[in-house]
Structure 1
Amino acid sequence: MAVLGAFPPGVGCRPFGEGDWEGVADCLHRGFPERSRGYWIEALTRLSRRPAVADFPRYGFVLEKSGRIVGAVLTLYARHSSAAGEEIRCNLSSWSVDAEFRPYASRMIATVILRKDVVYTNISPSPGTLKLNKAFGFRLFSGGQVAFFPVLNATHRPDRVLEARPELAEMAELTDNERYILLEHAALGCLALICVCDDLALPLVLKPRRILHGLIPCCQVVYCRSHADLVRCAGAVGRFLLRRGKLLCLVDAMGPVAGLSGKYFPKKGLKYFKGPKSPSPGDLTFTEMVLFGS
């Protein structure tokens, strides 16, 4: 049974810094043996290159016993701006607690999610953490995924797709936050696109990835304004991707998306949030999907 009381003597939870990387990498490698230790060092290195957000922890939290790291969770904080104002999101990534100390995993997470003004997300929950998610009040913001072939949405309209660049004239038609998202995600290896449809500039970010044991190349939608805008520009995006040898795309959703030529897979890629506002399905900006390629 999860323990929600105080930690016993010698056990504690705290934010960690660069001096803890070796112990954190060891702990995460024990929890995720399919990932090499070097993978976790590289993940922490990527986090170190991201700007700090106010006074929030830069990397995450550790659970320790008498100075030995026995648990860890990475916290990916980012600012998100919209017409409704600014919010802070924190993507909880890569939870791992050694077997002997798992009764204290819930107490560790309770320490991590104390802030009521932060939107916390878990976009790759393992089956063993689903009950813990619900116990802490996490709710679904994506109940499945749509796998679709955007080229099948092609029309005869003269729509265009442009790769985002600072000097591109169409960048001026986007909000400051959208320009920031496009340029930052382009630097992180994503396809940052502007789709010009009926003279309207629509931002779109895609993350190239492979599914089905790495056999099938595809693109995950990381950012779009809405599913409706994704449908609107899907045909032009399909032609753009076809020239690059890609046919399949994935987008998170709570149900089938009318207008996309594909199929909805319920309970595939479940994603949860806790906080004052739900992220939009299809918004995975600055999460582990982008930073770690997970």
Structure 2
Amino acid sequence: MAVLGAFPPGVGCRPFDEGDWEGVADCLHRGFPERSRGYWIDALTRLSQRPVVADFPRYGFVLEKSGRIVGAVLTLYARHRSLEGDEIRCNLSSWSVDAEFRPYASRMIATVIMRKDVVYTNISPSPGTVKLNKAFGFRLFSGGQVAFLPAFNSVPPSDRVLEAHAELAEMAELTDNERYILLEHAALGCLSLICICDGVALPVVLKPRRILHGLIPCCQVVYCRSHTDLVRCAGAVGRFLLRRGKLLCLVDAMGPVSGLSGRYFPKKGIKYFKGPKQPSPGDLTFTEMVLFGS
């Protein structure tokens, strides 16, 4: 039974810091035994290299009993700038609570998501956390994925793709936030691209990954302005990827995307959000997909 009242004596939830890494890694390894303990130390190390956003925790929160860590959730905060103002997002990642203390998991998450001005996301929910998501008012922002072959789209002769870097002149045609996204994700191992289509610069970020038990290489769309813009530059992107031995791409969506040569898989890679603004289609910037390769 979920507990939403106060924690009992000796049980509490708090942000954690570097001094808690060993206990957090142990807890996450217990919850996700398919991941090595070293995987979680590496994940925490990557978080330590990211900038702190305002007064939000750098790493996440723990549930503890008399000083022993019995639950943990990683919180990946990022600031997004736009003409409408700053937006803070938080990707909730790697929820784990020891079996004996799972009745307090909902109380822990309630503590984590208490800010009304933050957009919270869960992009890899387990069956148990789906129920918790719905109980806390999370809503779908992706109900499935489109697997598509961009090289099958036509390519106008003038279209071209450039790999983003700070000195590239075409970077000036993007917004400050888009330039930041491209450069940061390139440093994190993504393909950060500027597609020049009919003279218009369109940003696209792709995360190389492997699917079907690691047998099939592909690229996950991490950022694009819209599905419409993705279709517009798909052919040029496909030609760019083909030269690098990649054929298949994935993009999150609520249904089939007209203009992409592929198939929609409902309920594949579902993703949830809670907060004042729904993430744009295919926007996985600064999430666990990028930082941890999940």
When the two structures are superposed, what TM-score results if normalisation uses the length of structure 2? 0.99
User: What is the DSSP-based 3-state SS (H/G/I as helix, E as strand, rest coil) of the residue aligned with 2:204?
Assistant: strand
The total of aligned residue pairs comes to 294
User: What is the DSSP-based 3-state SS (H/G/I as helix, E as strand, rest coil) of the residue aligned with 1:12?
Assistant: strand
In 2: Cα distance, 1:21 partner to 1:218 partner: 32
Query: Shift of residue 225 of structure 1?
Result: 0.4
Alignment of 1:205-216 (within 5 A): 205-216=205-216
Hey, what does 2:125 align to over in structure 1?
A: 125
In 1: Cα distance, 2:288 partner to 2:56 partner: 17
Query: Shift of residue 51 of structure 1?
Result: 0.3
Query: Shift of residue 281 of structure 1?
Result: 1.6
Hey, what does 1:275 align to over in structure 2?
A: 275
Moved more, 227-236 or 74-83: 74-83
Identity of aligned residues (%): 90
Hey, what does 1:66 align to over in structure 2?
A: 66
In 1: Cα distance, 2:66 partner to 2:116 partner: 30
1:10 aligns with 2:10: yes
1:177 aligns with 2:190: no
Alignment of 1:128-143 (within 5 A): 128-143=128-143
Unaligned 5+ runs, structure 2:
none
Q: Which amino acid aligns with 2:22?
A: E
Q: Which amino acid aligns with 2:91?
A: N
In 1: Cα distance, 2:74 partner to 2:108 partner: 12
1:21 aligns with 2:21: yes
Q: Which amino acid aligns with 1:200?
A: V
Query: Shift of residue 156 of structure 1?
Result: 3.8
User: What is the DSSP-based 3-state SS (H/G/I as helix, E as strand, rest coil) of the residue aligned with 1:82?
Assistant: coil
- What root-mean-square deviation, in Å, do the aligned CA atoms of Structure 1 and Structure 2 show? 0.6
Hey, what does 2:105 align to over in structure 1?
A: 105
In 2: Cα distance, 1:181 partner to 1:24 partner: 29
In 2: Cα distance, 1:90 partner to 1:225 partner: 20
CA contact (8 A) 1:141 1:281 kept: yes
Kindly provide the CA deviation profile for residues 164-202 of structure 1, in whole angstroms up to 9, marking residues without a partner as x: 011111001001110000000000000000000001000
Hey, what does 1:148 align to over in structure 2?
A: 148
1:94 aligns with 2:119: no
Query: Shift of residue 129 of structure 1?
Result: 1.0
Kindly provide the CA deviation profile for residues 12-42 of structure 1, in whole angstroms up to 9, marking residues without a partner as x: 0000000000000000000000000000000
Hey, what does 1:191 align to over in structure 2?
A: 191
User: What is the DSSP-based 3-state SS (H/G/I as helix, E as strand, rest coil) of the residue aligned with 2:86?
Assistant: strand
Q: Which amino acid aligns with 1:165?
A: H
Unaligned 5+ runs, structure 1:
none
When the two structures are superposed, what TM-score results if normalisation uses the length of structure 1? 0.99
In 2: Cα distance, 1:40 partner to 1:98 partner: 16
Kindly provide the CA deviation profile for residues 215-255 of structure 1, in whole angstroms up to 9, marking residues without a partner as x: 00000000000000000000000000000000000000011
In 1: Cα distance, 2:114 partner to 2:157 partner: 50
Hey, what does 1:51 align to over in structure 2?
A: 51
In 2: Cα distance, 1:73 partner to 1:96 partner: 6
In 1: Cα distance, 2:137 partner to 2:8 partner: 25
